[in-house]
Structure 1
């Protein structure tokens, strides 16, 4: 199939991947009076007295905003917010199909981060959560941090945290399969953008101790030139031995490679220089850092990619529908680190020890158990953290 040609045909046919349907009957004068004026005044006045009742009297409790400024749309880069609309609609469709979450795509025509923050914060009363989507680094870090301070609903940048949750789940099971322990792993991460930083932070929270990040200039370490503020922060908690050099140098004797970077940057020779039973997560899309067959031939024990046509797909759809489902069900004020860690553990646990294989370390995207189990874990973590409203 020519996916590009067929996708254009189908998008023209669909004329949009989502739509709005009414839940209230509007087939009689009485029904109209209840759903709209004069009856609608009653819930308005109750919400005026207690804004939290908006979660009771409106669909806010189950509605998420999927918001972008179009600066990092998939692998296409800065193509603008309007051109990003098909992706935002697609993400909204995934929310509904996998988590029964109503999601509204919003494309904000502004690269001014403070203006973007102001717009999103001003809209928060319409939503139970915000999913930031396809916003380039380092601006995405600033936007998320500011919104978390201004909003009392979950602010979640899926490119960061959804990716991180699924990556951690994959690593838990890959490590179990090869018989190594999380704290003992030497991990090399190629890429230092939004996803890489979030993955690194979550792995550190889970107990990984030895992580080295690389950007296009090589290994990141404290005191190195050409570091933005985010990279400087990461340099304080990673690569504590201040190892310098390129990927070929740093990857020697590593246990794990995690790539969120560019095609073909990892060679078979580099894989052969890693420790025995190496784990390779080559997640650049659509072309990974190394093709799976080459990595396996070079001695990797477990290989994962971001693609659906290879085993072990690290796919955000395994995480974000369940995370938001759980957060919305308890009306959480945020999605915190504990929720992300529990989501990763729940996802990993869906592959039993008996099922665990080199080419099966994560459940499939269409496994009906995924959203339910991830949601349950997130709900309980939110309650345990005291950030739930119900």
Structure 2
């Protein structure tokens, strides 16, 4: 066995052992109240439980006072687009959904439960989620294939009075946009003027480009490509979501589109951007090659071709990792803390600004130690914060909560003193 294959087998065993031992899975349920005495049990269940039941029946808002609803997020999937592995079904998605729950708890103190839904149609999935939504403070949709995911999220947002958020779309978009704005600042370019090429036309690509437009990019300056080439106004084989980006253009291939482009966003597949194509980009280019585990172009090759490059990937072993964990735990923390009904565009842009601002500040000793003592500072190899940066929780959550209040989608006012860790422990 070669050294490389041995390393792969070792990593596979480590991953399987991690999930299997000492008990299967990554989640457990713990008690938040004493349950030792007869009095404890009589309060926890019958007859004591009747009192909060009556209060909630009188006023449903009391569910937030007497149950864990306000700090509980459901992570829900049909397993149709699992982490780059494809449609392997809902049960196979369970390790991913458990992992998402782990991240909610680890980074934002949010209790989370995974739900894998076996459904024979998008409508059946929608009905299932809508019927159980009142149990939760928020819903995180995950690993649902496009274009069904767009309609599923849209309808559920209309049906539910709690935040419904498809992280594969909007979490990716928030972190990508934060990184892009910082990269543009370093490269001395303006988002209102740059020409952007997006290779990929699925959920993440569409959300990224739409949020970039909200942040100032011009729709006519974005060229999006799917597996058949440039999405342009003369094509009659595109759905309504791709049609948003169907510009009048003579460009037809990636080779056409990439010439003179300022920004390349890859949310497609490995090795689809060649060295020759990268060489054709404008001066001081920005490349977000986010295909996982193998990017659209290897960073080593990209930096050989363009020394004036800023590059980001989806991988943790290269600088500038586009990692959704920079966003979704803290976004939900802020939304839950003011009991937001939805997560709107203003809240997403507030998260963008909070995330990108942290990257410009002095890196804390804790973050530096977590990354081997690396001397990190704002620049081409550090355009977005690291996930372990403790400032993300308080700053992103507070910005999101304030935006929810300012746009009228919050049930609660913004607290006078917003604590660093959010409001999950504040009575």
TM-score range, shorter chain: over 0.9
Matched, 1:319 2:327: yes
Q: Deviations over 1:228-275 (max 9, x none)?
A: 12112332xxx3x42431111111100000000010000111111110
How far did 1:222 drift?
Answer: 2.2
Matched position secondary structure for 1:263? coil
- Structure 1 residue runs of 5 or longer lacking an equivalent are none
How far did 1:9 drift?
Answer: 1.6
* Corresponding residue pairs, total: 386
Q: 2 CA distance for matches of 1:118 and 1:124? A: 10
Q: 2 CA distance for matches of 1:219 and 1:234? A: 10
Matched, 1:224 2:235: yes
Matched position secondary structure for 1:183? coil
Corresponding position of 1:377: 399
Q: Deviations over 1:347-380 (max 9, x none)?
A: 0000117732111001111111112211111000
Alignment of 1:147-166 (within 5 A): 147-166=156-175
TM-score normalised by length of structure 1: 0.97
Matched position secondary structure for 1:387? coil
Retained in 1: the 8 A contact 2:223–2:245?
Answer: no
TM-score normalised by length of structure 2: 0.89
Corresponding position of 1:290: 297
Q: 1 CA distance for matches of 2:236 and 2:13? A: 45
Q: 2 CA distance for matches of 1:233 and 1:188? A: 15
Q: Does the C-alpha gap of structure 1 residues 212 and 111 become closer, same or farther in structure 2, counting only changes over 3 Å? A: farther
Q: Kindly report structure 1 stretches of 4+ aligned residues shifted beyond 6 Å.
A: none
Retained in 1: the 8 A contact 2:80–2:89?
Answer: yes
Matched position secondary structure for 2:359? coil
Matched, 1:334 2:356: no
Q: 1 CA distance for matches of 2:72 and 2:256? A: 47
Q: Deviations over 1:17-76 (max 9, x none)?
A: 011101111111111111211111111111112112111111000000000001001111
Q: 1 CA distance for matches of 2:167 and 2:196? A: 23
Q: 2 CA distance for matches of 1:124 and 1:234? A: 33
CA RMSD in angstroms, aligned pairs only: 1.1
Q: 2 CA distance for matches of 1:82 and 1:30? A: 40
Matched, 1:21 2:24: no
Q: 1 CA distance for matches of 2:92 and 2:18? A: 17
Corresponding position of 2:374: none
Matched position secondary structure for 1:34? helix
Matched, 1:86 2:108: no
